[in-house]
Amino acid sequence: MTETPAFLDSQRPDVPDIVVPRGVVPFFLPRRPVRGRLVRLGPLADALLTRHQNHDAVTRLSGQALALAAGLAAALKFRGSFSLQAKGDGPVSMLLADCTESGALRGYARADAEKLALLLAATPDPDAAALIGSGYLAFTVDQGNHTDRYQGIVAIEGTELADMALHYFETSEQLRCQVRLAAARTEEGWRASALILERVAGEGGIDPALTEAEQEEHWRTALALAATLTDAELLDDTLPPDQLIRRLFDLEGVAIDRPRALAYGCRCSRQRLSGILEGFSPEDLDDMSVEGDIVMTCEFCNLDFRFAREDLRSRRAG
């Protein structure tokens, strides 16, 4: 029997207390139709990705999803959470990453061990399409119980996660952008990063003297400069994000905006999980109980929460 009933205990086991102050660095090319964001998770990537013992191919995909979710969330005005979800019939049946308006980041990948082993035997370094298979990609903004959720869904198209995201923006948002994602195990641990460029519509800060053809030329120049970026540069902790942005776009007069912090952001708690258990019948709770306890595992941070069955019985009876 625990000293504090589960429904009164809002605590959780310790998790990494990591904040990356310049996790997302926005930038823009003044009076030109280009804006972007550089995402660097730094040590936060290792803290999030090593909570689960996945194969490196799955971990790399998860890292890319985390960097992408952080970069897309930073461009939105909302209160709540922004999530990226991919579901398919491949070895990774579920890929999820979400980020709050304050930069709290979390994610996980659900992999089928047998399917993954078969894939790896045939393809030692599988791409995202092989890992996820046929399915859909969804982006969701959830601002709480009293507001409608916004969700956009498209069929998965493309080889890598960046291609899948571009397909979504082209078909659902009619937004022209470029996405570069990188995640890898380095000497310092896992790292993940993203570079996102957007072509701004012909208003709002763009030089009105620029013709459409000239605006298009500036966009293509930005794409060409971004194409020179290497994964090693994206993941290099010793290369500050501002310096990397200027290295790419300094000749275009790049301006760097206010950075956004990212943090370890799993929101699990005993109170939240206890509320889930309250939805089960007494019979179901009995079936879930092992030696008088029910153990629930948070899929995001992979922590176990143990509830005394008798405490839950008392709560339901009350």
Q: What is the full DSSP assignment across 150-169?
A: EEEEEE--SSSHHHHHHHHI
pLDDT value of residue 2:
46
pLDDT of residue 12 exceeding 60: no
Percent of the chain with pLDDT over 90: 64
| Prediction pTM value | 0.85
Q: How many other CB atoms sit within 10 Å of the CB of residue 10?
A: 12
Averaged pLDDT, 5-33: 77
Q: Are residues 29 and 124 in the same domain?
A: yes
Q: Are residues 206 and 296 in the same domain?
A: no
The answer to whether residue 6 is domain-embedded is no
pLDDT of residue 243 exceeding 60: yes
Q: Are residues 199 and 312 in the same domain?
A: no
The answer to whether residue 5 is domain-embedded is no
* 20 or 174, higher pLDDT: 20
CA distance 263 to 257: 19
Q: Which residue has the tokens 């930069």?
A: 103
The answer to whether residue 16 is domain-embedded is no
Residue 300 belongs to domain with CATH number: 3.90.1280.10
* 316 or 90, higher pLDDT: 90
Return all residues near 150 (Cβ < 8 A) that are at least 6 apart: 140, 141
Q: Are residues 154 and 299 in the same domain?
A: no
pLDDT value of residue 62:
97
N- to C-terminal Cα distance for the chain? Answer: 17
- Give the total number of structural domains in the chain: 2
pLDDT value of residue 230:
96
Band (290; pLDDT cuts 50, 70, 90): confident
Domain that holds residue 312: 269-317
pLDDT value of residue 208:
84
CA distance 318 to 312: 10
Give residue 189's region: left, alpha or beta (phi > 0; psi -120 to 50).
Answer: left
Band (210; pLDDT cuts 50, 70, 90): confident
Q: Are residues 65 and 206 in the same domain?
A: yes
pLDDT value of residue 312:
67
Q: Are residues 110 and 179 in the same domain?
A: yes
The answer to whether residue 1 is domain-embedded is no
Q: Are residues 153 and 104 in the same domain?
A: yes
The answer to whether residue 222 is domain-embedded is yes
Averaged pLDDT, 75-80: 85
In this structure, of 55-64, 80-89, 195-204, 240-249, the range with the lowest mean pLDDT score is 195-204
Q: Are residues 134 and 252 in the same domain?
A: yes
Residue 178 belongs to domain with CATH number: 3.55.30.10
